[in-house]
Amino acid sequence: MREVAIIGVGMVECGELWEKSLRTIWAGAALAALEDAGVDSVDHITVGCMSPGLFVGQEHLASLLADELGMAGVAATRVESACASGGLALRAGIAEVASGLADVVLVSGVEKMTDVDGADATYALGSAADQEWEGFHGITFPGLYAMMARAHMAHHGTTSRQLAAVAAKNHANGLLNPHAQFHLKVSIDDVLASTMVADPLHLLDCSPITDGAAAVLLMPLARAKDLAGRRPVVRVTGSGMATDTITLANREDLARLRAVELAGERAYTMAGKGPRDIHVAEVHDCFTIAEIMATEALGFFAAGEGGTAAEAGSTALGGKLPINTSGGLKAKGHPVGATGVAQVVEIVTQLRGEAGQRQVSGATVGLTQNMGGSGGSSIVHIMEVE
């Protein structure tokens, strides 16, 4: 197996991109990654996208997007794992390069979510839950995560103020990210005063509906070193994936994310690293409770201590372990199929030392954690400066 490096990154600004189509925003991110790498051709394209058929009425993205880039004829694959589709696209691209099936792979993620109304968007996102046992009874993702939050509060004493601290921190980071959907200062009190969506989750505890795309370019490590010049080369050293029951009712403990735990363990083992070796991380904060639970599942904090750590500033810029320096899904935005790739763009930017005002000093090892649904699937990647 060959070692794999990330040689280029690119993304478009996240938001309500009314005047741009799915193919347009995808091409913008792809071209930015190719330009960043100094490469004009690829052997394979992977596309992470959750539900283009329901959001924009378009399937068969692999062929469509290869053609949009002027690369008709190139092998291309679309993958799906709900909101973890971007992370799965990266894992699929890594397998192509590591196995020798391809030398240069364009890994991408995209979602165009605002072309439908709120009800249709809720329906499309709800397809990532168990339709027979959850969707049929009217539950939506805010409700599912609210139940997880209530369980975490009951088990560990987590508070609404600790949830709000996650949102305030991520919005502060989003102010420093030019690609973020929201450049909005949000305080803990603002979060607690916002509309209750599903008790205990307020509106500002929830990530938004977002259009967006992101891309990275992979190649064998040896070739990447030749191409990089003086720029740091970022190597992918760990990749872990796991599943859990989609249905919350079938889980032993609603206050744990078992798929994240397993994916993290597998990525740590592959990389020869542990939680204490990570300098910066992007985790899946679709709701504020998700960030708290993910940081515990990844071993950054003991069970029940994720909320306390967030409130104390341990996960803020300048803290013990900065989490979601991009602004996370909460402020950067959550174009579901693109989210996992956008996380990687942020970590590579950090490891290169190119993150500007949100730069984590001395960061050489980073982690991304992407999650599908309410934790039915999760993918973790670890990256290091070579």
Strand partners, 234: 6, 385
Catalytic residue, chosen from 44, 156, 284, 334, is: 334
Cβ contacts of 133 within 8 Å, gap of 6 or more: 247, 249
Residue 206 is a catalytic residue: no
Residue 279 is a catalytic residue: no
133 vs 139: CA distance, rounded Å: 9
Question: How far is the CA of 138 from the CAs of 164, 246, 336, 373, in angstroms?
Answer: 26, 16, 21, 16
User: Within a 10 A sphere around the Cβ of 161, how many other Cβ atoms?
Assistant: 14
348 vs 330: CA distance, rounded Å: 20
Q: CB–CB of 342/329 below 8 Å?
A: no
For 124-128, which contacts have Cβ atoms below 8 Å and span 24 or more sequence positions?
124/50, 124/51, 124/54, 124/55, 125/51, 125/336, 127/51, 127/54, 128/50, 128/82, 128/83, 128/246, 128/372, 128/373, 128/376
89 vs 106: CA distance, rounded Å: 10
Alpha carbon 253 to its chain centroid, in Å, reads 24
Q: Which of 62, 94, 63, 64 is nearest to 78 (CA)?
A: 62
Catalytic residue, chosen from 83, 156, 202, 284, is: 83
DSSP codes, 336-366: TTTHHHHHHHHHHHHHHT--GGGPPTT--EE
56 vs 192: CA distance, rounded Å: 34
Task: Tokens for 71, please give them.
Answer: 């690369």
Active-site residue set: 83, 334
